[in-house]
Amino acid sequence: MSALRIYDNLTEARATVLKRRSLNEAEVPAWIGENLRQLFGQPITPAEAVRRIIQSVRELGDAALFDWNARIDNASMDTLAVPQADIDAAPGQIPAEVLSALKLAAERIRIFHEKQPVHGWIDAQLQGSLGQLVRPVDSVGVYVAGGTAPLPSSLLMSVIPAQVAGVKEIVVVTPPGRGTGKVPPVILAAAAVCGITKVIRVGGAQAIAALAYGTESVPRVAKIVGPGSLFTTLAKQQVYGDVGIDGLPGPTETMVIADDSADPCLAAADLLAQAEHDVLASAVLVTPSRKMAEAVAAEVERRTQTLSRAEIIAQSLERSSGAVIVKDLPQAFEIANEFAAEHLCLLIENPWNWVGHVRNAGGIFVGESSFEVLGDYVAGPSHVMPTGGTARFASPLNVLDFVKITSLIALDASAAAELSKTAAILARAEALTAHAEAAEARIETLANRSAL
């Protein structure tokens, strides 16, 4: 039985289904602990396992990657890089309709991100020139989940914004197939659609370490992006500072706000689409109507029985999903802003009237025709979105994630001479006398120069 629990008490909901745990507090399924015990020969936390894996890659390079591929994925191979011939052949190895879908998705993702305003500026009217120079980062590593659940859509959603930004070197890492060492053709086809030529067969924390520090086969990159498992997220956390990251993605989540005008069948479908991702996924309905909550809960139970991932859905519903009853829509949006969901779906009458009430969300899905699954695949914006409440301060992956801004300061002599006086005053106020003297040493020199 798959039940969507209904919370009539908001205090209880905030203490349970709406309460988040930090990355290091997250519940670790028992099977992960057992796998780690077998892999390392002793009980070990995921964070410690990741630390050891990273250290081995830093010390041994490719040799560590081959070893972890064999130990974790039972994959034996001679080289880590996927041959170019395999990438070129992949589009012909998948169904034509899947290839067409990848191409359409890629086109819409590219068009969307090309519209993002990203530009530098120089103002020559400010007593000289001041401005900002926008430059793409030199290199990016894109992590793409593979194995038995390949995610070619994540490759498109991560690679294309980087290409639009002008990144010259993009490296894709993806786990080798368990027991085969081969990358699923659909992943390679997505790479081919994007024009990616460098795909490395390595996954997990070892892939993040390789991108952060470089090995014989994997170039060191400036930034790592792309969602993955608990282990890739912990690895990103541990290498951050030595390399840039897009964030620390946690389990996927969606919040659906529905009123009496909503179709409970569609609301249930949207919740189940998230719940099937993994057992830690969060699918939350917020509604001022108990009748709607009951109808959605009944539909969730009915639909789950026919779905291929019913067991995963059942655990997700039990662990971190539910329906929360609120007094009205203003309170619903108050809850939504507190929760700061990755996906916020508005299945309400006149949804556009409420968009302005949203302050915190990775993506807003406006009305029943703009459902979250379209955002996952083909709408246009990247589906790599902030999770775990980080939408309070973070954004979906976009072109700005792949550029850096350099300040430009080119003042004329008269402006510099005048501003040096202010700089010296502030420096002495901070007891930084060397700063003050560097400014004062220029006052007379620059004033004389400007008088010439």
Q: What is the pLDDT, as a whole number, of residue 90?
A: 98
Tokens at 250, concatenated? 């946690």
DSSP 282-317: EEEEEES-HHHHHHHHHHHHHHHTT-TTHHHHHHHH
264 with 337, same domain: the answer is: yes
Q: Using the 3D structure, point to which of 223, 247, 271 is the last residue of a domain.
A: 247
195 with 276, same domain: the answer is: no
- Residue 159, domain member (yes or no): yes
Amino acid at 99: L
259 with 316, same domain: the answer is: yes
Nearest Cα residue to 202 out of 304, 375, 56, 392: 56
184 with 117, same domain: the answer is: yes
Catalytic residue (choose from 113, 343, 368, 383): 343
Cβ neighbourhood burial of 33 (10 Å; 0-12, 13-18, 19+) = middle
- What are the backbone angles phi and psi of residue 416, rounded to the nearest 5°? -65, -40
423 with 446, same domain: the answer is: yes
Any idea what the CATH number is for the domain that residue 114 is in? 3.40.50.1980
417 vs 443: CA distance, rounded Å:
5
Q: What is the pLDDT, as a whole number, of residue 415?
A: 85
Q: What is the pLDDT, as a whole number, of residue 158?
A: 98
Q: What is the pLDDT, as a whole number, of residue 395?
A: 97
Catalytic residue (choose from 276, 299, 342, 372): 342
283 with 360, same domain: the answer is: yes
Q: What is the pLDDT, as a whole number, of residue 409?
A: 94
Element (H, E) at 436: helix 433-451
Cβ neighbourhood burial of 205 (10 Å; 0-12, 13-18, 19+) = buried
Q: Using the 3D structure, point to which of 215, 231, 247 is the last residue of a domain.
A: 247
Q: Using the 3D structure, point to which of 224, 247, 270 is the last residue of a domain.
A: 247
DSSP 333-388: HHHHHHHT-SEEEEESSSGGGGGGG--S-SEEEESTTS-HHHHHHTSSS-S----T
From first to last of the 452 residues of the chain, give the pLDDT tens digit.
Answer: 458 999 999 999 999 999 987 666 666 778 888 888 888 989 999 999 999 999 999 999 999 999 999 999 899 899 999 999 999 999 999 999 999 999 999 999 999 999 999 999 999 876 778 999 999 999 999 999 987 788 999 999 999 999 999 999 999 999 998 888 999 999 999 999 999 999 999 999 999 999 999 999 999 999 999 999 889 999 999 999 999 999 998 889 999 999 999 999 999 999 999 999 888 899 999 999 999 999 999 999 999 989 999 999 999 999 889 999 999 999 999 999 999 999 999 999 999 999 999 999 999 999 999 999 999 999 999 999 999 999 999 999 999 999 999 999 998 888 888 899 999 999 999 999 999 999 998 887 766 665 55
- Residue 395, domain member (yes or no): no
Specify whether 342 is catalytic: yes
Are 180 and 86 in contact by the 8 Å Cβ rule? The answer is no
- Residue 423, domain member (yes or no): yes
| Number of separate domains in the chain | 3
- Residue 78, domain member (yes or no): no
Nearest Cα residue to 371 out of 270, 255, 268: 270
- Residue 181, domain member (yes or no): yes
236 with 268, same domain: the answer is: no
94 with 241, same domain: the answer is: yes
Q: What is the pLDDT, as a whole number, of residue 413?
A: 84
99 vs 95: CA distance, rounded Å:
7
- Residue 440, domain member (yes or no): yes
137 with 236, same domain: the answer is: yes
- Residue 427, domain member (yes or no): yes
Instruction: Output the pTM of the full model.
Output: 0.92
Query: Residue 419 is part of which domain span?
Result: 412-451
342 with 441, same domain: the answer is: no
184 with 329, same domain: the answer is: no
Specify whether 301 is catalytic: no
146 with 221, same domain: the answer is: yes
